[in-house]
């Protein structure tokens, strides 16, 4: 059981990692932030029953993302004041093409690919 008192600490310490996962799913930092916040907000309501918070939030992240993909007509919109997309290091053409190809995958397939990157994530997801 997760103590609600640690929720704030969890948001502070784990957001960055979860945001990166969200970014791999959405390919866009603003949408990633939106996805992260929505997932953390949903997790708040289940917090008292959650055994492993990070694994749980990661699950919510993926289900929320796939549900957004399905519905398209999204209820939550990125805030105007979200941070700008940062510049990233130049990548080779092949790598860039691969990144873009992942971005064209349907949501569930993309989630599978992203989660496969880190075996730990997968283990957490299947617990």
Partner 1 sequence: MTVHDLRDVLREHGDGPSPANPARHEEIAARIRRIRLRRRALGGGGVTAVAAAVALGVSLLPGSLSRPTEPRPATASEATLVPKQPADFLPERFTTSDGTKYRRIAITAIKRAGPTKVSVTIPVSGKPLDVGAVCAGPSTDAPSVSTGDGRSTSADFGGCSRSMQLRPLLVPAATSGSKLTLTFNTTVRGGGCLMRNGTCVPRKPTRGLWSLAVYEWTPPARPAEPPPLKALPDHAGEARLAETKTGVWPQNGSATFKVRGKVGFDTLCTGDLAGRLWFSFMANGHPAGGSGSCGVWEGGAFPSAVSEFSYPTNKTTTVKVTWKLLGTATNRPVRWSVGLYQK
The residue ranges that bind partner 1 (CB under 8 A) are 4-5, 7-8, 11, 15-16, 19-21, 23-24, 29, 33-34, 36-38, 40-42, 44-46, 48, 60, 63-64, 67, 71-79, 81-86, 88-89, 91, 94-95, 98-99, 102, 113-114, 116-117
How far is it, in rounded angstroms, from Cα 3 to Cα 9? 11
Q: Which residue number, 51 or 77, has a Cβ lying nearer to partner 1?
A: 77
Q: How far is the CB of 108 from partner 1 (least distance, A)?
A: 16
Question: Is residue 47 classed exposed, middle or buried when 0-12, 13-18 and 19+ CB atoms within 10 A define those classes?
Answer: buried
Those residues whose C-beta lies under 8 Å from the C-beta of residue 96, and which sit 6 or more positions away, are: none
Distance CA 23, CA 113 (A): 13
Count of positions (residues) in the chain = 127
Least spacing, CB of residue 85 vs partner 1, in Å: 8
Comparing CB distances to partner 1, the nearer of 51 and 94 is 94
N-term to C-term CA, the chain: 15
CB of 63 vs partner 1, minimal distance in Å? 7
Cβ at position 26, least distance to partner 1 in Å: 11
């Amino acid at each position: 059981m997760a103590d609600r008192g640690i929720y704030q600490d969890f948001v502070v310490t784990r957001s960055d990692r979860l945001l990166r996962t969200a970014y791999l799913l959405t390919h866009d930092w603003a949408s990633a932030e939106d996805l992260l916040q929505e997932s953390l907000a949903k997790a708040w309501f289940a917090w008292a029953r959650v055994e492993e918070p990070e694994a749980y939030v990661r699950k919510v992240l993926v289900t929320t993302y796939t549900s957004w993909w399905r519905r398209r007509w999204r209820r939550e919109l990125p805030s105007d004041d979200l941070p700008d997309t940062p510049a990233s290091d130049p990548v080779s053409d092949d790598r860039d093409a691969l990144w873009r190809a992942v971005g064209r995958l349907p949501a569930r397939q993309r989630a599978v690919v992203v989660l496969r990157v880190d075996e730990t994530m997968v283990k957490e997801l299947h617990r």
